Structure 1
Amino acid sequence: MTVEMHWPDHLLTLADWNALPEDNSRSYELVEGVLLVSPRPVLRHQYAILQLGAQLEPQLIDSLSVVTEAEVVIDPATPSTVRVPDVMVIRTKALDENLPRANPEDVLLAVEVLSPGSKRTDRVTKFVEYAEVGIQYYWLIDLDAPPSLSAYHLINGEYELVSERSGQITLDLAGDQIHLDLATLTRN
C-alpha cells in the first residue's frame, strides 16, 4: 500500500506548524518557515540525552525542570522558527502549565548533543539563535571519546565559553553548582 504524503509548498507559519500531524518517526524543526526533517537520533545519542537529564534533574531548584526533545519557539513571526534542543532546563511554571512548547524566556539552558548531521547547525546557527532570544546557558556535548562538554554563558548578548572539559565537572547554572559525570553519558 502506498501512502501519499503532502509536503508544504510554502513557508510555514506557527499556525501551520501546529496543524502538522504528530509524527515521532523523524525529527522536525521549523527554520524561517522551512520544515526541516531529519532521522531520529541514534540510540547512543538518545542514551546520552536520558543520562544527562537524569543527572541534571535532582540538582535543580524546585522552580526549574528538565525536558528532553521539547520545542522552543525562536521566532513566532512569519516565517516562524521552532527548534528542538536535545535537553532544556526550563522554568517549572511552563511545565506546570503544560504548554505545547517553551518560550525562550522560560528556557534557562539549551543542550545539544553533537551528531554527524547537525554539528554545523549546533555550533553556528543554533548558537546564534539561542543567544539572540536570550537563553542564558548553552551546552554542546561531544560524545566522541572521551565525552566532553563546552559550556557557554550569555554575557552582554553573546555566548562566552566558560568551561570546556571531559570527565567529572562542576558548572555554574544561574548561581547553583551542577555536578556532571560525562563518562556516564556513553557506555564506552
Structure 2
Amino acid sequence: MTASPLGWQLPPNSDHPLTTAEYERLPEDTEHRWELQEGWLVMSLSPKSRHMVTTSQLIIQLAPQLPTGLGAIPDIDINLELAAPDEPGNVRRPDLIIVDSAAYERSDAEGTLLRASEVLVIVEIVSRGSVRMDNVIKRGEYADAGIPHYWIIDVDEPVSLVDCHLAGEFGYQDNGGVAGVFTASVPFPVRLDLDALVRLTP
C-alpha cells in the first residue's frame, strides 16, 4: 500500500490510470469506499446513519413491489462500460441498483463486476458532500452509460425523489422532483412513501 498526501493508504497499482480489469483485481478494502473515475481511484466518505437508514427502508419498500426476476442490491460496484477494456475505466458504487437476477448470477459466477447495460434502475442518496456529484457528474455518466432510470433521493426535509429517465439524444429527462409519495408505472409499477425512508421504524 502507498500513502496518499492526506495520510491514508492507497491500494497498490494506483500510481497510473487503471483499467476496469485492474480495478477488479485490487485487494478488498473494508475500510474505504472506492470508485474509479477515468482510471483514477476516488474515495468517498462512509455514509452517515440517516443515509444508511434510507437505503435499508428503500429496500424494505421496494422488495414486495419488484417483478419476479428483479432484485435490489445496495452498495455494489458497477462497470459503466464507458471505455474500451484496455483504456482507463469508470466504475461507480451507487447506493442501490435494481437488476435482473440473471445478471447477478453471471457476475457472481464470473467474479466480475455488474455492467451498466445490465442495470435497470440506479439510485443515489444525496449527502452534503455529494450534491454536485450525484446531480451533475453521475447524472451525466449514468446517462452516457445507457442506464434507463436514475433516481436521486435527497433526504433533507422534505424528502424528495428526482426520477430521471433516458430520452434519446437528450440524455436524462426528469419529473422535477416529488415529495411525499412517489409513484411510477415504468420500469415497473411502484409506490414509495418518501417520508418513511428516513424513519428507522414505521
TM-score, normalising length: structure 2: 0.85
Once residues 91 and 115 of structure 1 are traced to their aligned partners in structure 2, the CA distance between those partners, rounded to angstroms, is 27
SS at match of 1:129: helix
Amino acid paired to 2:69: S
Q: Taking structure 1 as reference, are residues 6 and 107 closer, same or farther at Cα in structure 2, changes over 3 Å only?
A: closer
Q: CA deviation at 1:6?
A: 5.3
Say if 1:100 and 1:56 are closer, same or farther in 2 by CA, change over 3 A.
farther
User: How far apart, in 2, do the equivalents of 1:79 and 1:64 lie?
Assistant: 31
| Pairwise CA RMSD | 1.8
**Per-residue deviation at 1:58?**
1.4
Deviation digits for residues 58-103 of structure 1 (CA, Å, limit 9, x no counterpart): 1111121111111111135311000011111111111233254211
Equivalent position of 2:181 in the other structure: 168
Compute the displacement of 1:163 (Å): 5.3
Equivalent position amino acid for 1:139 in 2? W
1:52-71 equivalence runs, <5 A = 52-71=58-77
Higher strand proportion = 1
Q: State how 1:20-99 maps to structure 2 within 5 Å.
A: 20-74=26-80, 75-77=82-84, 78-97=87-106, 98=108
Question: Are 1:152 and 2:140 matched, yes or no?
Answer: no
User: What is the aligned-residue identity percentage?
Assistant: 36
**Number of aligned residues:** 185
2:153 and 2:196 map into 1 onto residues whose CA distance is 13
Segments of structure 2 that go 5 or more residues without pairing to the other structure are: 4-8
Q: Structure 2 CA distance, aligned partners of 1:83 and 1:171?
A: 25
3-state secondary structure, aligned to 1:119 = helix
Structure 1 residue ranges (4+ consecutive) displaced by more than 2 angstroms after TM superposition: 3-7
Cα contact 2:161–2:182 (8 A) shared by 1? no
Contiguous gaps of at least 5 residues in structure 1 = none
CA contact (8 A) 1:62 1:92 kept: no
